[in-house]
């Protein structure tokens, strides 16, 4: 995949990757749709992005796997975001026309690579499984329903999940290397983030720090005030370097360090 870097994204990850989130671009199907969508992510003022855009004959990378795209609030920190040409209103027949079949073949190659690289099972999660923290493949619609942060319904009720998942399994030669490990404790989930990040995991950390007695706003934004709290906490905790960044050891200490 060639890279057209999106303008809006977070560098790094605060959670291990567990989801592949499928979107429809709400964009007309043509040979240049992936490139057009990628250029939009690279230049627009609206704060949105995806990891990859797919049409019938090409795949364009917009955000690297190790970075966090802004596509599906609630499923950004631990998700890989895949945009498909087309519309959520399409019928199954429209998804499976000549263009759609070619695009699903391209998408299957991307998803198979992600499943192999990140140990994600080739299965469509139910909403209960998504809520429980299971690993797998999901839709923007399900992210919206579970986390209630957006009202998007893509890729639509007629999207041919059976066909896409069958193609992914074919790409993997019938193998499924994903691990069905669920309900990871909060303190084990994120890895690190830079102090400009916003999102659910920042809010989770802020909430935990308030429980420990620190005064800060639980708003999901890692601000200068949060950095000051983090630095002070690191100074007070044994073995932590006072950097002001919530690295893996600092995150775990928020749950496990004795409260003095």
Q: Give residue 186's pLDDT.
A: 53
244 and 152 housed in the same domain: no
Residue 22, strand partner residues = 82, 139
Q: What CATH number should be reported for the domain holding residue 129?
A: 3.40.80.10
State which H helix or E strand residue 81 sits in: strand 79-84
20 and 90 housed in the same domain: yes
151 and 227 housed in the same domain: no
Note whether residue 134 is domain-resident.
Answer: yes
Q: Give residue 182's pLDDT.
A: 42
25 and 150 housed in the same domain: yes
The rounded distance, in Å, linking the Cα atoms of 178 and 55 is: 26
Please provide the size of the chain in residues. Answer: 260
Domain boundary among 141, 171, 201: 171
- What distances in angstroms separate CA 111 from CA 134, 166, 186, one per listed residue? 17, 11, 27
Digit-by-digit pLDDT tens for the chain (260 residues) are: 689 999 999 998 888 899 999 999 999 999 999 999 999 999 999 999 999 999 999 999 999 999 999 999 999 999 999 999 999 999 999 999 999 999 999 999 999 999 999 999 999 999 999 998 899 999 999 999 999 999 999 999 999 999 999 999 999 987 665 554 444 455 555 544 555 567 777 888 888 899 999 999 888 888 888 989 999 999 998 889 998 888 878 888 888 888 76
Domain boundary among 102, 137, 171: 171
243 and 121 housed in the same domain: no
Number of structural domains found in the chain = 2
46 and 137 housed in the same domain: yes
Query: Residue 131: which domain range?
Result: 2-171
Residue 69, strand partner residues = 9
Q: What CATH number should be reported for the domain holding residue 200?
A: 1.10.101.10
162 and 209 housed in the same domain: no
91 and 10 housed in the same domain: yes
167 and 192 housed in the same domain: no
Q: Give residue 260's pLDDT.
A: 67
Q: Give residue 181's pLDDT.
A: 45
pTM given for the model: 0.70
225 and 164 housed in the same domain: no
123 and 159 housed in the same domain: yes
Q: Give the dihedral sign, CA 246/249/253/256.
A: positive
Note whether residue 32 is domain-resident.
Answer: yes
The rounded distance, in Å, linking the Cα atoms of 6 and 237 is: 38
């Amino acid at each position: 995949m060639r890279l057209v870097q999106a303008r809006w994204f977070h560098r790094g990850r605060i959670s291990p990757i567990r989801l592949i989130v499928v979107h429809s671009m709400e964009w007309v199907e043509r040979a240049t749709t992936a490139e057009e969508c990628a250029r939009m992510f690279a230049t627009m003022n609206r704060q949105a992005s995806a990891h990859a855009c797919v049409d019938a004959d090409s795949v364009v990378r917009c955000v690297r796997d190790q970075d966090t795209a802004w596509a599906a609030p609630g499923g950004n920190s631990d998700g890989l975001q895949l945009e498909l040409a087309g519309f959520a209103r399409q019928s199954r027949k429209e998804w499976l026309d000549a263009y759609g079949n070619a695009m699903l073949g391209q998408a299957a190659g991307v998803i198979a690579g992600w499943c192999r690289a990140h140990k994600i099972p080739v299965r469509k999660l139910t909403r209960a499984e998504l809520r429980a923290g299971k690993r797998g493949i999901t839709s923007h619609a399900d992210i919206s329903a579970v986390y209630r942060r957006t009202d998007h319904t893509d890729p639509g009720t007629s999207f041919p999940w059976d066909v896409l998942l069958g193609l992914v399994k074919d790409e993997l030669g019938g193998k499924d290397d994903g691990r069905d490990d669920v309900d990871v404790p909060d303190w084990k989930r994120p890895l690190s983030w830079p102090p400009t990040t916003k999102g659910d995991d920042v809010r989770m950390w802020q909430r935990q720090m308030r429980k420990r007695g620190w005064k800060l706003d639980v708003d999901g934004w890692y601000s200068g005030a949060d950095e000051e709290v983090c630095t002070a906490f690191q100074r007070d905790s044994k073995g932590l370097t006072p950097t002001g960044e919530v690295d893996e050891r600092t995150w775990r200490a928020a749950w496990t360090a004795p409260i003095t």
